[in-house]
Structure 1
């Protein structure tokens, strides 16, 4: 069935793995953790890069956040004050239109 050389190589490899169980298990565990982390990072990047790709001009979509400063502590918030739309339209020459969505007491641009 199998060639003799392949049988011998497999036998020597298995014998070495069983003799050095701790070393083998550490190598397998490290390889497993490393591959899992790489897959998780890849899935995270795929998820993050998938937003707003269905729009024709997805590269021109921006999100505006507010940073509140309270006693020297900066806190970023998603909602921005209401009059911002008028200021954006007046100050930005590249802004074609703005959308504002009210969602559960939060304003999203």
Structure 2
């Protein structure tokens, strides 16, 4: 009998978890809708199903990943440009020294 109660407990936990996940998804959706008009129009086109929500969340994550990657890329390029500038300056200085000698 105790097992039976435990089973009910587990299913309740699962149900609560599902609800929480859904709430979390909805929270993310609110952010998505604030962030991106494209996603809004996309959601309007799709039925208001869980799949639509999941897709929206995935798209949002992808958008952010892309943003993050491009930011990283910019940072890397900045560093590379700095290094290139240093090397070029060194090269010019060396040439000048050789001409003076």
- On whether the aligned pair clears a TM of 0.5, the verdict is no
Name the TM-score class by shorter chain.
Answer: 0.3 to 0.5
The normalised TM-score by structure 2 is 0.38
> Where is the strand percentage greater, Structure 1 or Structure 2?
1
Larger RCO (CA within 8 A; separation ≥ 6):
2
> Where is the helix percentage greater, Structure 1 or Structure 2?
2
The normalised TM-score by structure 1 is 0.35
